Amino acid sequence: MKTALPTYFKGDRIIWMVAFLLMIVSLLVVYSATGTLAYRFKEGNTTYYFLKQLMFLGVGFMIMYFAHLMPYRLFSKFGKILLYASIPLLLFTLLFGANLNQASRWLVIPGLGFTIQTSDLAKLALIIFVSKMLAQKQDQIKDFKGTFLPLIAHIGIVCLLILPANFSTAALLGLVCMLLLFIGRISMKHLGMLVGIAVVAFGLFILIASKTSQGGRIGTWQSRIERFVGSKDGGPGYQVEQGKIAIATGGIFGKGPGNSTQRNYLPHPYSDFIYAIIIEEYGIVGGVIVLFLYLFLLFRAGVIVRKSKRTFPAFLAVGLTLMLVFQALVNMAVAVHLFPVTGQPLPMVSMGGSSLLFTSLALGIILSVSRSMEEAENDKKIEEDGIKANS
Same domain, 36 and 123: no
Within-domain flag for 99:
yes
pLDDT digits (tens, 9 = 90+) for 133-163: 999 999 998 999 999 999 999 999 999 999 8
Within-domain flag for 391:
no
DSSP 3-state percent helix, strand, coil across the chain (nearest 5): 75, 5, 20
Same domain, 54 and 147: no
DSSP symbol at 264: G
Number of Cβ within 10 Å of residue 337's Cβ equals: 18
Q: Is the pLDDT of residue 385 over 90?
A: no
Within-domain flag for 389:
no
Percent over 70 (pLDDT), the chain: 85
Res 230: pLDDT: 57
Q: What is the DSSP string of 244-280?
A: HHHHHHHTTT-S-TT--SGGGT-S-TTTTTHHHHHHH
Domain of residue 88: give its range: 82-231
Res 60: pLDDT: 97
Same domain, 193 and 97: yes
Structural domains of the chain, count: 2
Same domain, 107 and 246: no
Within-domain flag for 363:
yes
Cα distance between residue 230 and residue 247, in whole Å:
19
Res 84: pLDDT: 95
pLDDT digits (tens, 9 = 90+) for 188-242: 999 998 888 888 877 777 777 666 554 455 555 555 555 555 545 444 567 778 8
| pLDDT-based confidence at residue 325 (cuts at 50, 70, 90) | very high
Res 46: pLDDT: 87
Cα distance between residue 391 and residue 389, in whole Å:
6
Within-domain flag for 75:
no
Same domain, 181 and 260: no
Res 1: pLDDT: 41
SS3 (DSSP) at 237: coil
Within-domain flag for 375:
yes
Looking at 206, 231, 256, the residue that finishes a domain is 231
Q: Is the pLDDT of residue 380 over 90?
A: no
Looking at 231, 260, 289, the residue that finishes a domain is 231
Res 223: pLDDT: 59
Q: Is the pLDDT of residue 342 over 80?
A: yes
Same domain, 93 and 227: yes
Res 262: pLDDT: 92
DSSP symbol at 139: G
Same domain, 255 and 345: yes
pLDDT digits (tens, 9 = 90+) for 102-117: 555 677 776 666 778 8
Same domain, 132 and 41: no
Looking at 191, 213, 231, the residue that finishes a domain is 231
For residue 385, what is the enclosing H or E element?
helix 354-390
The closest alpha carbon to 354, from 8, 146, 120, belongs to 120
Same domain, 210 and 280: no
Q: Is the pLDDT of residue 131 over 60?
A: yes
What is the distance of C-alpha 241 from the center of its chain? 25
Same domain, 89 and 62: no
Same domain, 149 and 221: yes
**Which residues, 6+ apart, have CB-to-CB distance to 209 below 8 Å?**
216, 217, 218
Same domain, 132 and 215: yes
Give Cα separations from 358 to 26, 54, 324, 347, 378 (angstroms).
16, 16, 10, 10, 30
Within-domain flag for 50:
yes
Res 204: pLDDT: 78
Residues constituting the chain: 391
Cβ distance 107 to 118 under 8 Å? yes
Within-domain flag for 74:
no
pLDDT digits (tens, 9 = 90+) for 44-62: 898 999 999 999 999 999 9
Mean pLDDT: which of 18-27, 31-40, 88-97 is highest?
A: 18-27
